[in-house]
Amino acid sequence: MIILNVFFDVVQQHEAEFLKLLNQMVIESNKEEGCSLYQLWRNAHDPYSYVLVEHWASQESLTAHGKTPHWINFNDTVNAYLKSDYDEHHYSEIPR
């Protein structure tokens, strides 16, 4: 399993556009094969700070996600709504 946490610091005046874009990403990404979780969360202490939590079955499914029209649109658009570029952290499960 691959887990991603993607962090966003949103410009207050662009929050509505950001949420519209991310809500569409959540809807479309949750339909993809290999996606078991795709959710946007708001920071409890900073209303313009968000994290997108993603769970993917494999690197192959994550790679396929990066080729979808909704991801390409997201990647081309989202940073215009942010104070700085989004910060993406990838995690892989530690075998027992």
Return the HEC string of the chain. CEEEEEEEEECHHHHHHHHHHHHHHHHHHCCCCCEEEEEEEEECCEEEEEEEEEEECCHHHHHHHCCCHHHHHHHHHHHHHECCCCEEEEEECCCC
Give the pLDDT band (50/70/90) at residue 94.
Answer: confident
Look at residue 93 and tell me whether its pLDDT is greater than 90. Answer: no
Q: Which residues pair with 37 in a beta bridge?
A: 55
Q: Are 1 and 35 in contact (CB under 8 A)?
A: no
Tens digit of pLDDT for each residue in 69-84? 999 999 999 999 999 9
Give the pLDDT band (50/70/90) at residue 95.
Answer: confident
| Domains of the chain with bracketed CATH | 2-50+66-84 (3.30.70.100)
